[in-house]
Structure 1
Amino acid sequence: MELNNVKEAREGSAVTDVDVLIAGAGPTGVALGIDLARRGVRALVVERQDGLSRGARGTGLQPRTQEVFEDLGILEAVQAAGGPYPDMAQWQDGRIVSTQRMIERVDPTPSAPHSNTLMVPQWRNLELLLERLHELGGSVLFGAELTSFDQDPDAVRTRLTLSDGSERTVTSRYLVAADGGRSTVRKGLGVGMSGPELEQGAAVLADVRVDGLDRDHWHFWTTQSESSAAQRPLAGRFAGMLPLARTDIFQCMIAAPSDDPDTSPEAIRALLAATTHLAPEQIREVLWSSVFRPKAGMADRFRIGRIFLAGDAAHIHSPAGGQGLNTSVQDAYNLGWKLGQVLRHGAPDALLDTYETERRPIAARILDTSTRLHRSGSMRRGRDLHQLDIGYPDSPLTQELRPGVPEDALRAGGRAPDAPCTTADGTATRLFEALRGPQFTVLAVGDTGLDPAALPTAPGLLHLVRVDGPTPDLLDTNGHIRDAYGPDPAVFLIRPDGYLAVATPPEEAAASLAGYLAELSLLEPAL
């Protein structure tokens, strides 16, 4: 165990009372920990392993997740650790016979500055998330296995077994299960998980260092010729080797020769030699290996009392399309601000019901997409997987109050687009800079006449940004804000997770927003 993990284990093991206990230190749990830490919510992440998970695992960060990471304050570090996916190279009889662009590359636009999937090994992604959690004063209790829990109307009591054999009970207002596809919490709650049947089979995953293979391609091998197969009796149907950006490591996925394959370094070398043109001695080092069996499913419930399911504990996806990790991070982003609003600012507990209302349909839609891609066998990946079109138009938190809005226009429930603009003194900036942070934002576009005094609020909860008009905060110098938000004056309430909660005509804005914000405990109570 690394020294910082030992320190965290010692400090975390003394904690017995928190606002939120998060089970699982994967991307979902640590991202949620970050979001709660920046809101001043007392949260503890617990992880049964003695450190962060190893292995490249999910490597693709979709554009929407990059926007989330920008708001959480880690995008620059993630970009520095990652890179684009290379073109695919198909091998046959020891040579590359064809290459093709597998992942579509899209030019950025003013409204979507992060337009391509970013490749970052999951182990590195987790390291950066943990560093950010530390910066905000949060921590992870490693070597702490959740063994049982119970809840009543006021609290959840969770029993942990620590790596030294001792036991602790942590009392929390809420428990979030981000403990993976085999979730102990989900099983303990008796919540079922159902989904499409995927064809049976297993694949071996491994992170390796290799000699004699270029790093300019994502290398693929399929069933070899009869002569090669005779010489290599262990040959499988498929192998792929992805050079991981900013490393000297390849991520491998190889069709397993059996349902219970050997994953020792010697077996990995033999399997790669049997399935590719590489010799065993060219596999210099096997850093990590595991067995993958494709599964797909979704939990019947995402909330049971004071307990929430998030990430793989709530939905399991085929890796086809790179949707699982990204969907999971956005679960955390959706739940984080709602927990913060209830715990820190007195919003009604019913706000937390909208987590399941909003996220479960999204998980179902993405589950359908990843399953379709898995069954198709197609390797092509396009902008439909970027998750920028995800929204909550049917949410009880969404109010579109403008009459006659065209169907193809930006509407309440949609993602708030970015736009280059300037500050009032002419300094170049972006709309995302004004939206960044854990607060809600009232965006007044044009001469709306909205009086800030009409929306009295506690400091830090609500931010008013006026675009153009007599007293602007931002100037839409090149018209990008109006291109994204519409040509007519309007007022938008933007949620902390970057979606439009309310869109209203200026003349109705003060009354419409006052009622909405009061329900979320964003307005100062009347004296």
Structure 2
Amino acid sequence: MMDVLIVGAGPTGLTLGIDLARRGVEALVLERADALFPGSRGKGLQPRTQEVFHDLGVLDTIRAASGSYSNRMIWKNGERLGEQTMFEEVEADEGTPYTEPMMIPQWRTQEVLYARLLELGGRVAFEREVTGLTQDADGVTVAFADGTALRARYVVAADGGRSAVRRALGVGMTGETVDPAPFLVADVRLDGLDRDHWHAFPADDGSALGLCPLAGTEDFQLQARLPEDAVPDLSADGIRKLVAQYTHLDAADVTEVRWVSDFRPRAALADRFRAGRVFLAGDAAHVHSPAGAQGLNTSIQDAYNLGWKLGAVLRDGAPEALLDTYEEERRANAVAMLELSTSVHRGQVRRGRATVQLDLGYEESSLSVETRTVADRVRAGDRAPDGTVDGVRLFDAFRGPHWTLLGATVPGLRSLPAAPESYGPGVFLVRPDGYVGWAGDTADGIEAYLTVVGL
């Protein structure tokens, strides 16, 4: 029997596969298609996700394939009206070295994650369509379209907004329409536009078309908000006609249509993120507007949260109740993400400090234990900032599947003699996912917390 079956080889499933592989957990990623997803859809990587990728050992490769967000160039009747910045600037400091979102097509992010998974000994089984599952006290049996089945101690549904696993579990989703208009996204190659701007072509009726150059490729991502009564034409000719309709370009200027999809923006949340031995992660748990680049990033952090907890239970002897904190922590974050992405979509919140995800944390979690009488800076539940202690960079010290203690020494824990001044006074126990789990004036009383998390 496998330890974990992960359904879906998107960014969520691959991230979880990497995290489990480096913890020595036997996991298999299952993918219905015969290859990785081919489109650029989730192209924005927020600073917090960059920190996660630093820990997982892929950030340098990701950054080499990425680019910055260009200013938006507004067009009207073939004339340039002017530029708009995409984001409010977030100032970098020692604790927050990554503050600028990066742009990289989703297919490339998945290629990098897939290569890292294979490097760590992980596996993806393609053409494995899940049709149902049953679970008992010992494990979960997953059935496939070809009549075969596999069994594992736990299953994670990372199979998207139309999750077959979620439907098989009977877990509902509650949500709302964000925008009544149909939207279309495509990857195209074209002539006639510079690659220094994100080109926007608004129409008088509220519809619009955008063409965004994708770093490291010859492609542009096309995004279109169509009139409410429009029926999207997903053919190559339909895309060419759309470009000719909204821009000063001719249909023939679109030299290739590489991928296309349509959707109607909605925000929805699964009623539960856990049902017995099955967990929901990524779009299987929360569906969102793409505005503000929140969804893919939140999904990756779902996996990052769940990975260390599954590892602790399966390999370190942590109590099974630790897994309940996945829903406790991640569902609350998903609620906040859905509200934010909807507000960005409707123009109520601008991209910037609110969207980079550096301020998200778990202050209300049962795993966040703050025992200090005075805590005016970093508190239990906060993201643990970067910094330097005795010449050691904290993000490098945190890197890997372990806990890190700052400001004291406890047998069996990786320890540094102090925390940077930016943390404030105290002793800080940093979780494997880079959040402060326990904080105290001294290390006295930490033993009870260590028992809860299996240390």
CA offsets 1:335-388 (integer angstroms, 9 cap, x no match):
00000000001111100000001111111011111112222377x411111111
- For each residue in 1:90-129, what CA deviation from the matched residue of structure 2 results, as whole angstroms up to 9, or x when unmatched? 0011121111112223332100000110111100000000
Where do residues 455-470 of structure 1 align in structure 2 (5 Å cutoff)?
455-457=410-412, 462-467=413-418
Q: Does 1:274 align with 2:245?
A: yes
Q: Show the counterpart of 2:360.
A: 390
Selected match of 1:513 from 427, 446, 453: 446
Contact 1:236/1:254, CA 8 A, preserved across alignment = no
SS in 1 for 2:449: helix
Instruction: Provide the rounded CA distance (Å) in 1 between the counterparts of 2:165 and 2:89.
Output: 39
Asked whether 1:303 is paired with 2:303, we answer no
Equivalent of residue 240 in structure 1, options 210, 222, 229: 210
Q: Distance in 2 between matches of 1:143 and 1:377?
A: 42
Amino acid in the other structure paired with 1:505? D
- Contact 1:239/1:252 (CA < 8 Å) preserved in 2? yes
Aligned residue for 1:183? 163
Partner of 1:318: 289
Give the paired residue count: 454
CA shift digits 1:305-338 (9 cap, x unpaired)? 0000000000011111110001000000000000
Deviation of residue 422 (structure 1)?
4.1
Which deviates more from structure 2 when the two are superposed, residues 364-373 or residues 325-334? 364-373
1:53 CA displacement: 0.5
Match in the other structure for 2:235 = 264
Report how far residue 192 of structure 1 moved: 1.1
Q: 2:115 aligns with which of 112, 131, 147?
A: 131
Partner of 2:373: 403
Contact (CA 8 Å) 2:177, 2:265: kept in 1 or not? no
Aligned equivalent of 2:427: 491
Contact 1:88 1:220 in 2 (8 A): yes
Do structure 1's residue 255 and structure 2's residue 225 form an aligned pair? yes
Residue by residue, what CA displacement relative to the aligned partner does 1:187-232 show, whole Å, maximum 9, x if unpaired?
11111111233232212211011111001110000116xxxxxxxx
Select the structure of larger CA radius of gyration: 1
Structure 2 CA distance for aligned equivalents of residues 121 and 464 of structure 1: 38
Structure 1 contact 254–272 (Cα < 8 Å) conserved: no
Q: Tell me, yes or no, if structure 1 residue 439 matches structure 2 residue 402.
A: yes
Superposed displacement of residue 421, structure 1: 4.5
- Rounded to whole Å, the distance in 1 between the matches of 2:347 and 2:91 is 27
Report SS of the residue matched to 1:196: strand
> Shift in Å at residue 430 of structure 1?
1.6
Q: Does 1:67 find its partner at 2:51?
A: yes
2:179/2:264 contact within 8 Å kept? no
Deviates more, 1:367-376 or 1:43-52: 367-376
**Residues 492 and 502 in structure 1, CA contact (< 8 A), matched pair in contact too:** yes
Does residue 1:416 correspond to 2:384, yes or no? yes
CA distance in structure 2 between the partners assigned to 1:355 and 1:90 by the alignment: 43
Q: CA deviation at 1:260?
A: 3.6
Displacement of 1:400: 0.5
Note the residue ranges of structure 1 that are not aligned, 5 or more in a row. Answer: 1-16, 225-234, 424-428, 445-449, 468-475, 523-527
* 1:223 equivalent in alignment to 2:203: yes
CA contact (8 A) 1:418 1:430 kept: yes
Deviations 1:401-460 (Å, cap 9, x if unpaired)?
110223xx211110000014543xxxxx4211111111011111xxxxx4x4xx343xxx
Stretches of structure 2 that go unaligned for 5 or more consecutive residues are none
Which portions of structure 1, spanning 4 or more consecutive aligned residues, are displaced by more than 6 angstroms? Answer: none
CA distance in 1, matches of 2:225, 2:372: 54
The one-character-per-residue Cα deviations of 1:33-65 (angstroms, maximum 9, x if unpaired) are 000000000000001011011111011100000
Matches within 5 A, 1:24-423: 24-161=8-145, 166-223=146-203, 237-256=207-226, 259-376=230-347, 380-406=350-376, 409-423=377-391
The residue identity in structure 2 corresponding to 1:196 is: E
State the match for 1:10 in structure 2: none
Contact 1:144–1:160, Cα closer than 8 Å, also in 2: yes
Q: 1:236 deviation in Å?
A: 8.2
**1:236·1:274 contact (CA, 8 Å) conserved in 2?**
no
Say whether the 8 Å CA contact 1:236–1:275 is kept in structure 2: no
Percent identical pairs in the alignment equals 53
Separation in 2, partners of 1:201, 1:168: 41
CA distance in 1, matches of 2:189, 2:431: 44
RMSD: 1.6
- Normalised by the length of structure 2, the TM-score is 0.97
Q: Distance in 2 between matches of 1:125 and 1:256?
A: 28
Partner Cα distance (2:106, 2:179) in 1: 26
Find the aligned partners of 1:356 and 1:179 in 2 and give their Cα distance: 17
- Indicate conservation of the 8 Å contact 1:345/1:521, yes or no: yes
**SS of 1:384 mapped into structure 2:** coil
TM-score, normalised on structure 1?
0.84
Structure-2 residue corresponding to 1:504 = 440
Structure scoring higher RCO (CA < 8 A, sep ≥ 6) equals: 2
Q: Helix, strand or coil for the counterpart of 1:297?
A: strand
Q: Could you tell me whether the CA contact under 8 Å between 2:344 and 2:351 is conserved in 1?
A: no
Query: What letter is aligned with 2:180?
Result: Q
**1:231 corresponding residue in structure 2:** none
